[in-house]
Amino acid sequence: AQKITQTQPGMFVQEKEAVTLDCTYDTSDPSYGLFWYKQPSSGEMIFLIYQGSYDQQNATEGRYSLNFQKARKSANLVISASQLGDSAMYFCAMREAVSSNTGKLIFGQGTTLQVKP
Amino acid sequence: GAVVSQHPSRVICKSGTSVKIECRSLDFQATTMFWYRQFPKQSLMLMATSNEGSKATYEQGVEKDKFLINHASLTLSTLTVTSAHPEDSSFYICSARAPPAGGRHEQYFGPGTRLTVT
Q: Which of A65, A33, A14 is nearest to B103 (CA)?
A: A33
Cβ distance of A102 and B97 shorter than 8 Å = yes
Residue A107 near residue A91 (C-beta atoms within 8 A): yes
B47/chain A closest Cα distance in angstroms:
11
Ranges of chain A whose pLDDT falls below 70: 1-2, 98-101
Each residue's pLDDT tens digit, A32-42: 999 999 999 99
Each residue's pLDDT tens digit, B90-99: 999 999 988 7
pLDDT of residue A21: 98
Q: Kindly tell me if the per-residue pLDDT of B105 is higher than 60.
A: no
Q: Which residues of chain A make contact with B34, given a CB cutoff of 8 A?
A: 103-105
- Compare CB distances from B103 to A42, A45, A52 and report the shortest one's residue: A52
B105/chain A closest Cα distance in angstroms:
7
Q: Which residues of chain A make contact with B35, given a CB cutoff of 8 A?
A: none
User: Choosing among B11, B107, B108, B116, which should be mutated to test the A contact, i.e. which has the most A CBs within 10 A?
Assistant: B107
Each residue's pLDDT tens digit, B19-60: 999 999 998 888 889 999 999 989 999 999 998 888 899 999
Q: Which of B36, B38, B110 is nearest to B76 (CA)?
A: B110
pLDDT of residue B101: 61
